[in-house]
Structure 1
Amino acid sequence: MPTVDTNTKTDALDALPDAVAAEAFRRLVRHLQHRHDAQNIDLMGLSGFCRNCLADWIRDAGFDGDKEAARELIHGMPSVQWKATRQSPATEEQLARMQESVAKNAKADAE
């Protein structure tokens, strides 16, 4: 089981070879492209991240493209097309779950 060194804030993920991490990331993205029934709002409500977060994270990691290019890479199509063909309107319940989840992210980030 991976351990976290609280003195250096590193964990076993840092020792994972980049090629392995990259392959796992690509598999995750392709899985999410296939499972468009998993709405971003539901991903946010459950896990505190969504496809758009992944697009932001690749930009933070050094992707040269702009926000739209990053989203197109993650969605597998332009985001305007994604929204028109894959995204349904969020319900009040979904929005509430997302707000609770985002609050958990903020709390974890503060620790």
Structure 2
Amino acid sequence: MDDATRTELEAAAFRRLRQHLMHDRPDVQNIDLMNLAGFCRNCLSRWYQEAADARGITMTKDEARRIFYGMPYDEWKEQHQSEASPEKQAEFRDAFARNVGSEGS
């Protein structure tokens, strides 16, 4: 397989993952994704931002989130996210430290 085809397939898989997380399963909470898988929608938007930055495209965290979420992040949270239990928040702190470190997700 040539590099261009591989890149196209990887991009298609990313778009399908985004479709799944944003439209097929918006009920799945970011905190649950992070606690179970070590990444969430915010991580994906951050990785998008990092890819843009690596190519010399300046993009803020808020801009990347708006692109990924298709709306301002605060609107997404209001529409789809619920308050996490203290237990889930404690799990998140551990998962965040292991998977992201000191940088924001």
TM range (shorter): 0.7 to 0.9
Whole-angstrom CA distance in 2 between matches of 1:29 and 1:21: 12
Equivalence for 2:83: 89
The one of 64, 72, 82 equivalent to 2:66 is 72
Higher relative contact order (CA 8 A, sep 6+): 2
Residue identity over aligned pairs, in percent, reads 46
Equivalence for 1:98: 92
Q: Is the 8 A contact 1:55 1:71 kept in 2?
A: yes
Q: Deviation per CA, 1:59-108: give whole Å up to 9, x if none.
A: 1111643211211222122112111111111111111221232343269x
Query: CA separation of 1:81/1:106 partners in 2, compared to 1, >3 Å: closer, same or farther?
Result: closer
Whole-angstrom CA distance in 2 between matches of 1:81 and 1:106: 24
Structure 1 unaligned residues grouped into runs of 5+: 1-13
Moved more, 73-82 or 21-30: 73-82
Structure 2 unaligned residues grouped into runs of 5+: none
Query: CA separation of 1:106/1:39 partners in 2, compared to 1, >3 Å: closer, same or farther?
Result: closer
If the length of structure 1 is used for normalisation, what is the TM-score?
0.73
RMSD: 2.2
Equivalence for 2:22: 33
Whole-angstrom CA distance in 1 between matches of 2:17 and 2:98: 23
Q: Deviation per CA, 1:28-80: give whole Å up to 9, x if none.
A: 01110021111111111111111111111011111643211211222122112
The one of 19, 26, 33 equivalent to 1:43 is 33
Opposite residue 45 of structure 1, the aligned amino acid is N
Opposite residue 37 of structure 1, the aligned amino acid is D
**Count of residue correspondences:** 93
Q: Is the 8 A contact 2:39 2:99 kept in 1?
A: no
